[in-house]
Amino acid sequence: MLNVNQLIEPKSRLGDIRGGAISFLVAVPLCLGIALASGAPLFAGIIAGIVGGLIVGIFSRSALSISGPEAGLIVVTLSTIEALGSFPAFLLALCIAGLFQIGFGFAKAGNVSNFFPSSVIKGMLAGIGIMLIIKQLPHLVGYDADAAEGLVLFQPNGFDLNEQLRMAMSQFSLTAILITVVSLTVFYLWERPAFKKQAFAKNVPAALIVVVLGILTNELMKLMAPHWALSGNHLVQLPVPDSVDAFFKLFTFPDFSQWSNPLVYSSAIAIALVASLEALLSVEASDELDPLKRKTPANHELKAQGIGNVISGLIGGIPLTSVIVRSSVSINAGARTKLAALLHGSLLLICVVTLPSVLNKIPWASLASILLVTGYKLARVDIFKATFAEGPAKFIPFCVTVLAVVLTDLLTGIGIGMVTGIFFILRDHYRNTHRVRTEWDSDIKRIHVSLGDYVSFLSKARLMKLLKSVPDNAIIEIDGSLSSYIDSDVVTAIQNFGIGAKQRNIRLIFRPNPAVDIPSIYSPSEHPPRKNSLQESQFHLHGQINTATVGR
């Protein structure tokens, strides 16, 4: 829960106000753009931003993380709405997803992100970035049909990307293109090292300038050349309530009649997994940026995120999670407590109540430019280069995940990437089972085998291959003194090798870790040596192996 003492530190209050205000300015266009790309009502993005700032801000123990709708949730939201057939049914799935997240927190699943290979996570984000880039191309030239929002390249209804681009080029708008060029120029300037040093660039986000310039450009067109001005679905179209009652009618509520629909529960699991993973990764990144190096309790954060998604689903919002873009902007502006997150949510609420007509002047070309840059940051070339430098075991799963996400959908892509990543993990485990050193003692070949820390059944195949290659009259020493675990299948393989070792005049010396119990290697009539007196004791493996020396 909220610690009020954090909000009364005089030294941090100004930085928190600045951080909350700037993150709010970034959040407005992103909330709208992500709602658009998710196939949800535009107001749903604002609701998620408000709930993320206020509700999650109250319950979270993260000092600096700011929650709201995030680009990584676009595909799962869009696919879920399409699968369930209606937005109210999706809201029910979102409520259940929030309950799942709360359950994850009580089950102490906060470390679940550690079980996903980093290459797969990077590939997932890069794949989402590429899809964001591709799907914004029609909007950049003024083609704003709803059909352009399906974040799948090859759609089952046959209306694919090529058709969308062809239609876009036949319906382009010069004003939209002008706004796009101006917007991308602003983003380019904001990234220049010389411009970054300016106080204006540090305190005012590029996304705000893009939105303001987009509005001004179109308003000038209305005065100078009305027939070139953007209108209709080329602009944001938030409903403008004319009364308090009309405002509350903007909220959508879950369709509880869908309780018996099994797709609701499978969709809820998908939303919960993706939202939880995004939250854990973003909170971890926010903690790294924290000048005070505070650590957010991962399990408690899952509960806070779950509460936020339950409330967002109940009142008509889209999924929310911790957002590293808003969090980093807030931190860079001087935020030091969660006052910034609470202010961010409060400003969003005030804005949607008092300034909806201003928001409706924002051209979609401006929002598409913001999403295009967001996609580029998720899939920039440096990420591919850095992953390539880590070697094939990282780069191949990364690329497979990227391609799978782009060509299929998010969940399928992650699944394919996980399978690929697990394959390389198993391969590395197989290769690093043991180390072999060979030397000659007079005319006798001596083979030293050092087992790894964890010798599972996966190690059996490679060890068997080594044992079969041992020549007659040789000495083989298998050192497991540093192994914390040796699977019984591996011990049995050593035992079976000992059956033929005597006939081939092979001397087998096995040194297990005294702290590891491996009872299967002792014959029923014998007892293992005591763990505290093992230095010079000897034992035979069922009488089959010539000598097995246990020692240091």
Tens digits of residue pLDDT in 438-472: 888 777 888 888 887 777 777 777 788 888 888 88
Structure tokens given for 387 = 């992953």
State yes or no: pLDDT of 542 exceeds 60. no
Alpha-carbon dihedral of residues 267, 273, 277, 278, nearest 10 degrees?
10
Structure tokens given for 518 = 């491996």
Structure tokens given for 262 = 């099994």
* Residue 314 or residue 139, greater confidence: 314
Q: How confident is the model at residue 512 (pLDDT cuts 50, 70, 90)?
A: confident
What pLDDT does residue 156 have?
46
What pLDDT does residue 160 have?
55
What pLDDT does residue 211 have?
87
- In angstroms, what is the C-alpha Rg of the chain? 30
Helix, strand, coil distribution of the chain in percent, nearest 5: 65, 10, 30
State yes or no: pLDDT of 551 exceeds 90. no
Q: Is 213 exposed, middle or buried (0-12, 13-18, 19+ CB in 10 A)?
A: middle
Structure tokens given for 21 = 């205000």
| d(C-alpha 552, C-alpha 548), whole Å | 13
Structure tokens given for 534 = 């093992």
| d(C-alpha 267, C-alpha 415), whole Å | 15
Say how far residue 51 (Cα) sits from the centre of its chain. 21
Select the highest-mean-pLDDT range: 102-106, 326-330, 432-436.
102-106
* Residue 543 contacts residue 523 (beta carbons within 8 Å): yes
Mean pLDDT over the full length of the chain: 80
| d(C-alpha 450, C-alpha 466), whole Å | 12
Q: Is 541 exposed, middle or buried (0-12, 13-18, 19+ CB in 10 A)?
A: buried
* Residue 482 contacts residue 512 (beta carbons within 8 Å): no
E strands in 201-340: 321-322
Q: What residues does 440 pair with on adjacent strands? A: 445
What pLDDT does residue 452 have?
74
* Residue 51 or residue 351, greater confidence: 51
* Residue 52 contacts residue 309 (beta carbons within 8 Å): no
**For range 108-120, the mean pLDDT:** 78
What's the N-to-C CA distance of the chain in angstroms?
54
Structure tokens given for 101 = 């997240």
| d(C-alpha 24, C-alpha 18), whole Å | 10
| d(C-alpha 478, C-alpha 463), whole Å | 10
What pLDDT does residue 165 have?
62
**Which residue shows structure tokens 């999670």?**
321
| d(C-alpha 369, C-alpha 179), whole Å | 9
- 3-state SS, residue 312: helix
Percent of the chain residues topping a pLDDT of 70: 84
* Residue 4 or residue 437, greater confidence: 437
**For range 85-97, the mean pLDDT:** 96
Which of the residue ranges 36-50, 159-173, 229-243, 271-285 would you say has the lowest mean pLDDT?
A: 159-173
**Which residue shows structure tokens 């020493």?**
477
* Residue 109 contacts residue 272 (beta carbons within 8 Å): no
Alpha-carbon dihedral of residues 57, 58, 59, 62, nearest 10 degrees?
50
* Residue 414 contacts residue 441 (beta carbons within 8 Å): no
| d(C-alpha 398, C-alpha 413), whole Å | 11
* Residue 517 or residue 310, greater confidence: 310
The predicted-structure confidence for 215-228, as pLDDT tens digits, reads as follows: 999 999 999 999 88
Query: Left, alpha or beta for 68 (phi > 0: left; psi -120 to 50: alpha)?
Result: left
State yes or no: pLDDT of 539 exceeds 50. no
| d(C-alpha 426, C-alpha 186), whole Å | 47
State yes or no: pLDDT of 153 exceeds 80. no
